[in-house]
Chains A and B, each alone.
Chain A
Amino acid sequence: SQQGEEDPQALSIQEGENATMNCSYKTSINNLQWYRQNSGRGLVHLILIRSNEREKHSGRLRVTLDTSKKSSSLLITASRAADTASYFCATTSYGKLTFGQGTILTVHP
């Protein structure tokens, strides 16, 4: 397996529900970032959490980081149809940013 693995690979929910995606990694990191990608488009940086931080919020996004378990989670609260996209975690380690394979989130209206 590789650095930055997301779980689940695909998630389907109804509008208004919360969506939780998880990311696990293997090596020590400087920071962990979450990105969103709409179909066939570029990635959009959502949030960055440093290795000495445990939780961070941005609007409806909440990211947690557990360095002892080498894992992070992204929670999207009160999801909207417009949140439908692929979500990637990426870890920065020794100056290198490595992406996972992503979670495909579908939010049904």
Chain B
Amino acid sequence: ETGVTQTPRHLVMGMTNKKSLKCEQHLGHNAMYWYKQSAKKPLELMFVYSLEERVENNSVPSRFSPECPNSSHLFLHLHTLQPEDSALYLCASSHGFVGPIAGQYFGPGTRLTVT
């Protein structure tokens, strides 16, 4: 798990707050991902970055805004969230994007609660 780190591990925010989630990978990978994991639902892919360019946005509401300043860092900026956005947000990285060939490496996640 130490190859991909996420901060904070827990976050409680009101619906009018603005906060950011941070992900950092130390594996030399060139693709990074944001996933949302809600109870009793499959892992939902939110965004994919390959070589610092966004290559996939799975119809995610604009209140979620990703940023990838370099191949090692990925942010998820949050604003005016809804209670149903409460979930575990997972960051992952992989070597190569098209057809992940060696598996993705996940961070420990940020448990987000929107009040």
Contact = CB atoms under 8 A, between A and B. Distances in A.
Interface string B41-56: 1110100000000001
B101 interface: yes
Contact of B97 (A4, A40, A95): A95
B99 A92 contact: yes
Nearest to B109: A42
Among B40, B43, B105, B108, the one with the most A-chain Cβ atoms within 10 Å of its Cβ is: B43
A99 B97 contact: no
A45 B43 contact: no
What DSSP secondary structure best describes chain B's contact surface? loop
A31 B99 contact: yes
B21 interface: no
B99 A100 contact: no
Contacts of A35: 103, 106
A42 B42 contact: no
Interface in A7-64: 30-31, 33, 35, 40-45, 48
A42 B1 contact: yes
Given A31-B99, A33-B103, A41-B1, A88 B108 contact: no
Contacts of A98: 42, 45
Among A2, A92, A100, the one with the most B-chain Cβ atoms within 10 Å of its Cβ is: A92
22 contacts: A4-B42, A30-B99, A31-B100, A33-B103, A35-B106, A41-B108, A42-B1, A42-B92, A42-B106, A43-B106, A45-B103, A45-B104, A45-B105, A45-B106, A90-B43, A95-B98, A96-B45, A97-B45, A99-B42, A100-B42, A101-B42, A102-B42
Interface of A: 2, 4, 30-31, 33, 35, 40-45, 48, 88, 90, 92, 94-102
Interface of B: 1, 4, 6, 40-43, 45, 56, 88, 90, 92, 97-109, 111
